[in-house]
Amino acid sequence: DQQVKQNSPSLSVQEGRISILNCDYTNSMFDYFLWYKKYPAEGPTFLISISSIKDKNEDGRFTVFLNKSAKHLSLHIVPSQPGDSAVYFCAASAGNNNDMRFGAGTRLTVKP
């Protein structure tokens, strides 16, 4: 039962353009959402998070949008850079860290 879904396994964008990665969830109890970035042969690293009391959070080139009614969040990267090429995981939790659920990941390729 995948409670967090990333329906696009891969995404390719041109350098300088916007990358939009999407994530859907089914559990209405989730109240904290995170995006992790993963390079090959490395562990995931934290990128950005958002609490359910907000609908937007920005950190430099990265913005996460949360639509609670649609149970949908998205990560926008503007402008995209070749170094952003990685696998991006969406994650969600309900109240604590003990039951974090992850999506399957989206592989982003940014072409120079």
Partner 1 sequence: NAGVTQTPKFQVLKTGQSMTLQCAQDMNHNSMYWYRQDPGMGLRLIYYSASEGTTDKGEVPNGYNVSRLNKREFSLRLESAAPSQTSVYFCASSPDSYFQETQYFGPGTRLLVL
CA distance 35 to 48: 5
Residues numbered 64-83 forming contacts with partner 1, rule: CB under 8 A: none
CA distance 93 to 105: 16
Pick from 24, 103, 108, 110: which binds partner 1 (CB under 8 A)? 103
Residues numbered 32-51 forming contacts with partner 1, rule: CB under 8 A: 32, 34, 36, 41-46, 49, 51
- 91 near partner 1, judged by CB under 8 A: yes
Map residue 98 onto helix, strand or coil.
Answer: helix
DSSP codes, 31-91: -EEEEEEE-TTS--EEEEEEETT-SEEEETTEEEEEETTTTEEEEEESS--GGG-EEEEEE
Nearest residue (CB) to partner 1, 20 versus 100: 100
CA distance 75 to 65: 7
Nearest residue (CB) to partner 1, 75 versus 80: 75
Pick from 93, 106, 108, 110: which binds partner 1 (CB under 8 A)? 93
- 95 near partner 1, judged by CB under 8 A: yes
Q: Give the residues lining the site for partner 1 (CB under 8 A).
A: 2, 4, 6, 31-32, 34, 36, 41-46, 49, 51, 89, 91, 93, 95-105
